[in-house]
């Protein structure tokens, strides 16, 4: 698992690109971009929930500390650490 604990500061905004319906759940970070691949379908927020779960685990925070502030229905999303 990729370690993103340096992003755990409150107020940090994290831009990610989410790919739903992937073959496996995976988070890849290279340089300044973070890509999240989830097996969930993009219906009823299932892919968003799976993305939050993976991102929270990589940062080392509970899911409740991450808030989706932009990109509810888009592939490019911005999360804020609360």
Write the DSSP assignment of 8-41 as a string of letters.
Answer: -STT-EEEEEEE-S-SS-EEEEETTEEEEE-SS-
Question: Is the separation of the CB atoms in 38 and 55 below 8 Å?
Answer: no
Query: What is the enclosing helix (H) or strand (E) of 81?
Result: strand 76-81
Q: Alpha carbon of 38 to those of 10, 23, 35, 58, 66: distances in Å?
A: 25, 8, 10, 14, 17
28-63 confidence digits (pLDDT tens): 998 889 999 999 999 999 999 999 999 999 999 999
pLDDT of residue 51: 97
Indicate whether this model's pTM tops 0.85: yes
Kindly tell me if the per-residue pLDDT of 1 is higher than 80: no
Three-state DSSP class for 6?
A: helix
């Amino acid at each position: 698992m990729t370690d993103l604990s340096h992003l755990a500061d409150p107020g940090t905004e994290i831009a990610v690109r989410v790919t739903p319906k992937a073959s496996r759940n995976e988070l890849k970070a290279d340089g300044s971009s973070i890509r999240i691949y989830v097996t969930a379908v993009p219906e009823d927020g299932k892919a968003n929930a799976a993305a939050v779960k993976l991102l929270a685990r990589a940062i080392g925070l509970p899911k409740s500390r991450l808030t989706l502030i932009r990109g509810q229905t888009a592939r490019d999303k911005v999360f804020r650490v609360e």
